[in-house]
Amino acid sequence: MGTRVAASLPRNGTRQTILNLLKKSDGLTADQLADQLGITTMAVRKHLATLEREGLVETTPSRRPVGRPARVYRLSRRADELFPKQYDLLVTDLLADLLELDGPGKVEMLLARRAERTRAELEHRLARARSFDERVQILAQGMDELGYLVVWEKLDDSTYLVSQYHCPIREVASAFPAACRLEAEMYRDLLGVEIERSCHLLTGGHCCCYVIRAKDTPAGACA
């Protein structure tokens, strides 16, 4: 499970405008961008240099009848992440259609399959844990890499708190609460203990918090 760092919107308004212009084109030179922006080519090149360092634009040479080849700027694949997506709405709509066509059982089956894939991937990582502390830490790190913005802490010798400050499937979970139940069950199964959700984003909490008590660890599990 590799760490995936999402691109962030440029704070500079001119650079955002450059990205918008490139998005609407098949590539533009610095001179063409300068004409559309009403600023100097030198100023445009400075902005493009910043965007190139950030991995948001790429360049290719373009032959001209005379003179040196011009550099044509295009958006990188990473830059596409800056523009709005509606994947959550699409998934929610598809699940709603499935619910109408085949009933709740089929929807829960799909959500369970997703949860099982996540559980299997995390379980593979947990195999290297040498203590219960490490199991909690590895699980928290894995969920963080999946986009849940996770912080964990050890409250006392046998109690841990795992806080998820973001839910990348929040729209789906709002429409289909089974997603939240399956997540809690995954935590329980991976750690081998009973857990308690003490705070929930969908009920107005500022995060989803799981209280984990190692003293409930069954015999033979990591402690």
Does residue 4 lie within any of the structural domains? no
pLDDT of residue 220: 38
Residue where a domain stops, chosen among 82, 101, 117: 82
Q: Are residues 75 and 91 in the same domain?
A: no
Q: What is the pLDDT along the chain (223 residues), one digit of tens a residue?
A: 543 334 455 556 899 999 999 999 989 999 999 999 999 999 999 999 999 999 999 998 876 666 677 899 999 989 988 887 778 889 999 999 999 999 999 999 999 999 999 999 999 999 999 999 999 999 999 999 999 999 999 999 999 999 999 999 999 999 999 999 999 999 999 999 999 999 999 999 999 999 999 864 443 333 3
Does residue 7 lie within any of the structural domains? no
Q: How many domains does the chain fold into?
A: 2
The residue segments making up the domain with residue 113 are 87-216
Q: Are residues 71 and 154 in the same domain?
A: no
Does residue 8 lie within any of the structural domains? no
Q: Are residues 77 and 133 in the same domain?
A: no
Give the domain CATH number at 45.
1.10.10.10
**Total-model pTM:** 0.67
Task: Check if the beta carbon of residue 78 is closer than 8 Å to that of residue 55.
Answer: yes
